[in-house]
Amino acid sequence: MLKFIFRRILETVPVLLCVAAMTFFMCRLAPGGPFDDDKQVTPEVREQLNKQFNLDKPLYAQFYQYLVNLPNLQSFKYPSRTVGDIISQKFPVSAKLGFLAMCIALSIGIMFGVIASLRPNSYIDYIPSSLAMIGICLPTFVMGPILIYIFSLKLKWLPATGWGGFDGDIFFASDMILPSLTLGLFYAAYISRLTRGGMLDILTQDYIRTAKAKGASAPRILLKHALRGGLLPVISFMGPAVAGLIAGSFVIETIFNIPGLGQDFVKSAFNRDYTLVLGVVMFYATLIVTLNLIVDILQVSLNPKLKFQS
Amino acid sequence: MIYRMIARASICLMPLILVGCGSGEKSETSNEALKILKITVGAEPEDIDPHVVTGVPEHHIIAALTEGLVAEDPVDLHPVPGVAEKWEVSEDGKVYTFQIRENAKWSNGDPVTSTDFAESYKRILTPALASKYAYMLFVMEGAEDYSTGKLKDFSKVGVKVINKQTLQIKLNAPTPYFLSLLNHYTWFPVHISTVKKYDGLTKRGSGWTKPENFVGNGAFNLKSWTLGRKLVVEKSPTYWDAKSTKLDEIHFFAIELETTQENAFRAGQLHNIYNLHIDKVATYKKEHADELRIKPHLASYFYRFNVNKKPCDDVRIRQALTMAIDRESIVKNVTKGEQMASTFFTPPGVGGYTARARFKEDVGEAQKLLAQAGYPNGEGFPSLELLYNTTEGHRIIAEAIQQMWKKNLNINVTLQNQEWKVYLDRQRQMDYQISRAGWTGDYPDPNTFLDMWTSWSQQNQTGWSDTKYDALIRKAAITKDPDTRLEVFQEAEEILMDQLPIIPIYIYTRVYALHPAVKNWHANVLDHHPWKHIDLDLNLLKK
């Protein structure tokens, strides 16, 4: 297993390099630059700015500098912050939101999926399945405002925006509920569909029949025997999903005004904030690669048919 | 495994449910005695270094943290004593002598001296800092040459430290709006020794603006700045006029999305909506008239022609296109924010100036001009593209104008939307035929709207130049008599409205909402609100 992990880590190096190169050069090919503003600057000022941010150096030299020193480079848009500053301040927020959303997604999604799989094509199946379908079809930018309207503006139970207390930095605050729920429900819908599919597949397997024949109780068969295999599709889905969840959701963060990394992921590209774009993309890429590796390991340990090999 | 996962999930959810509602409100009640204004000024501030930033959100924040030689009256913004308690103007209107008050202090207790100002001006004009807004100081003698590197010796620039308390500024020409100009943050002082401490004077974003390092001289001090969330300023005890400061704290929230601003406002988390969405205006007029504010703004919405490209190189075609737009209909049916349809460029009433030059909206005349240019009834008219940056608001205006041109002149125009930076780049490279634009005045004087159309201005971007126009703007800059000066601007705008390198469309309004508990908030064309005067009625806030 160690050998497998080691090889996989080695494989990620060229992948990340490719990502870095593509991001860097695509950014540079895009028209417009970080200093374009509705008030145009004189050529002299532009030249000085390029000098200050090393844009006057050849591209390969800049790329090299970005590669070796990315976290300590200044953001173009927010010059008083480095790329490292921004990611380290904002990532924990996104990660927490993602974690809470994932908890909601997993608990609701698996529960609904399992229930639906018990009596396929009956009301017990139709109700959770159609709820899940609605969840998939309702994008977060619709779900979020609906929840805000009901729980914040009409019932006045929960704050409409903010994170960790609109004023403070509270570890668990009421303003975390709505964004986590909005994001969680969206993923719950997928997870419940995947769980249902996986479970239906497993419940018809021979070993389940054997377990039944041996007189194992229904909950035991379900939870001990079936769930282990039935959740494999969910596990594969969780790799990229977790990366997506904790790296931040642009939509949720914008609607609820949450200071997470998801906003920078999108806005830095619009701002031509060359350093920040690369920083956020590389961070996200590393996250995905790592999580995929973890998922692979998890899958092997859950599925006896698989072995570590690459 | 799965049991554990589910168990963990439910453990995680528990505190959420237990903490439940109220934690947000709790912190509010504990702050009850303090007057805390919670507002948003839109986007996240890029920085709070007055010599580096260029944006409007930054302006609002810097105005709380720093004060220039003069301050603004909260009602009509006329210059009132700031750091300088009084000033004298020389006979020829070119030399200003400021007397700095002795009790003016920085937030670390240091006295504010005339050297601070002189050194600050030197910093913003230093070429290596590459301040985008350094040109705001170009009215000062030698400033432009120093900033472009032509002049190396700063002592030749028109700022002189007479003594610790006296500062003399020499201008190129009598500049009637000079005192108003001093309220632009480019003229604000920075605490030089603090700036020096962090990577020197010419490095932008060196870290001196972080809350633990920042030193200012305004009515408020920087307390905290959480990226993407909010910037908090608190009443400064060292400010010379601290007794007049009414608020204890101001929380500037970074909320860009209009609907999010509104949600926070309606949920009682925020005291303003910086930009009210246009679809909400009718509802607010009916249901929340006490909160809605619609005020004229010192900004003009217009289209640029590229006069180097066919067919807009022909003035008759530019005139025809300009005349064939029904602006009243646009502001009434499309933009709906009580904007003023404009058949002129400079917003009226700026520095006592209301443009005399007006073109007519006249479809018959427009058709005639088009025919004269060789396209009777639009026949054979070459392809024409209208460029705008991708925003819903610009799209609907462009569509309305596209229809009007089709209906009135029978010409087809294609609409091309581009992402912001691409649009700016294409405009700068003159790679367009017609391009959407907006211009916000930097100070209340017609000069800020008219000098941009000179042949040497970076903001021109139309390819249009006119020697007579250039001469008039130069003349206005050295004319001392205010009435004669305004008359020169009138002549200049007449040329502009005759040649029409641009299509004026409307004068902006600011459409926003403000909690009735916010007091001493006066609407003005610059949307400046000197923070020390703003008050909060806590009784009204509770309701």
Residues 6+ apart with CB under 8 A from A179: A97, A101, A144, A163, A252, A253, A255, A256, A258
What was the pLDDT predicted at B310?
87
Reading the block at residue B425, the tokens are: 């780049």
Tens digits of residue pLDDT in A193-235: 899 888 888 888 888 888 888 887 878 888 778 888 888 888 8
Please say if the pLDDT value at position B13 is more than 50: no
What was the pLDDT predicted at A167?
53
What was the pLDDT predicted at B242?
93
Please say if the pLDDT value at position A165 is more than 70: no
CB neighbour class for B256 (10 Å; exposed up to 12, middle 13-18, buried from 19): middle
- Where residue B19 falls among pLDDT bands split at 50, 70, 90? very low
Partner residue opposite A42 with nearest CB, options B1, B458, B461? B458
Residue B267: list chain A partners with CB under 8 A: 152-153, 156, 159-161
Are the CB atoms for A227 and A59 separated by under 8 Å? no
What was the pLDDT predicted at A168?
54
Reading the block at residue B423, the tokens are: 């649009």
Residue B458: list chain A partners with CB under 8 A: 39-42
Q: What is the bridge-based pairing of β-strands B36-40 and B249-253?
A: parallel
Task: Please provide the average confidence, as pLDDT, over all residues in chain B.
Answer: 89
Q: What pTM did the predictor assign?
A: 0.88
Please say if the pLDDT value at position A116 is more than 50: yes
Please say if the pLDDT value at position A171 is more than 80: no
Domain residue spans in chain A? 2-67, 95-259
Reading the block at residue A120, the tokens are: 């396929």
Q: What is the bridge-based pairing of β-strands B272-273 and B434-440?
A: unpaired
Say yes or no for a CB contact (<8 Å) between B132 and A145.
Answer: no
Reading the block at residue B236, the tokens are: 């400064």
ipTM over 0.90: no
Reading the block at residue B420, the tokens are: 């912001």
* Mean of pLDDT values over B56-62: 93
Say yes or no for a CB contact (<8 Å) between B44 and A78.
Answer: yes
Say yes or no for a CB contact (<8 Å) between A148 and B263.
Answer: yes
Q: Which of A164-168, B45-49, B157-161 has the lowest mean pLDDT?
A: A164-168
Chain B segment 51-110 residues within 8 A of A by beta carbon are 52, 54
CA distance B456 to A74: 33
What was the pLDDT predicted at B18?
37
Q: Which of A136-145, A167-176, B324-333, B449-458 has the lowest mean pLDDT?
A: A167-176
Mutating which of B52, B125, B269 best tests the A interface, going by the most A Cβ atoms within 10 A? B269
A78 touches chain B (CB under 8 A): yes
* Mean of pLDDT values over A136-158: 88
- Where residue B16 falls among pLDDT bands split at 50, 70, 90? very low
Say yes or no for a CB contact (<8 Å) between B49 and A263.
Answer: no
First-to-last CA distance in chain A?
A: 11
Please say if the pLDDT value at position B6 is more than 60: no
CA distance A8 to B42: 45
Mutating which of B2, B258, B448, B458 best tests the A interface, going by the most A Cβ atoms within 10 A? B2
> What percent of chain A has a predicted confidence (pLDDT) above 70?
96
* Mean of pLDDT values over B164-175: 93
* Mean of pLDDT values over B419-445: 92
* Mean of pLDDT values over B119-144: 93
Residues 6+ apart with CB under 8 A from B337: B278, B281, B294, B331, B509, B511
Are the CB atoms for A144 and A252 separated by under 8 Å? yes
Task: Please provide the average confidence, as pLDDT, over all residues in chain A.
Answer: 86
Chain B segment 309-338 residues within 8 A of A by beta carbon are none
Q: How many other C-beta atoms can be found within 10 angstroms of the C-beta atom of residue A122?
A: 10
CA distance A185 to B178: 58
**For residues B311 and A1, which has the higher predicted lDDT (pLDDT)?**
B311
| Per-range mean pLDDT, top range of A195-209, B31-45, B97-111 | B97-111
CA distance B478 to B475: 5
Are the CB atoms for B302 and B394 separated by under 8 Å? no
Q: Which strands, in side-by-side order, build the sheet including B36-40?
A: B36-40, B249-253, B230-235, B220-226
Nearest by Cα to A83 from A26, A23, A171: A23
Q: How far is A158 from chain B (nearest CA, A)?
A: 6
Q: Which of A105-119, B61-75, B306-320, B443-457 has the lowest mean pLDDT?
A: A105-119
Fold of A95-259: MetI-like fold (1.10.3720)
Say yes or no for a CB contact (<8 Å) between B425 and A32.
Answer: yes
Find, in chain B, the residue whose alpha carbon is nearest to that of A38: B424
* Mean of pLDDT values over B103-127: 95
Say yes or no for a CB contact (<8 Å) between A80 and B209.
Answer: yes
* Mean of pLDDT values over B164-181: 93
Are the CB atoms for A97 and A183 separated by under 8 Å? yes
CB neighbour class for B173 (10 Å; exposed up to 12, middle 13-18, buried from 19): middle
Are the CB atoms for A82 and A75 separated by under 8 Å? yes
What was the pLDDT predicted at B20?
38
Are the CB atoms for B496 and B450 separated by under 8 Å? yes
Indicate if the alpha-carbon torsion angle A134, A138, A140, A144 is positive or negative.
Answer: negative
In a 3-state reduction of DSSP, which class is residue A64? helix
Residues 6+ apart with CB under 8 A from B145: B151
Say yes or no for a CB contact (<8 Å) between A81 and B205.
Answer: yes
CA distance A307 to A290: 19
- Where residue A308 falls among pLDDT bands split at 50, 70, 90? low
Please say if the pLDDT value at position B438 is more than 90: yes
Are the CB atoms for B230 and B211 separated by under 8 Å? no
Say yes or no for a CB contact (<8 Å) between A106 and B135.
Answer: no
Q: How far is A19 from chain B (nearest CA, A)?
A: 23
What was the pLDDT predicted at A296?
82
Partner residue opposite A161 with nearest CB, options B52, B260, B458? B260
Helical axes A274-302 vs A261-270, angle rounded to 10°: 140
Please say if the pLDDT value at position A248 is more than 70: no
Residue B132: list chain A partners with CB under 8 A: 35, 37, 39, 41, 45
Reading the block at residue B269, the tokens are: 């988390």
Mutating which of A166, A245, A261 best tests the B interface, going by the most B Cβ atoms within 10 A? A166
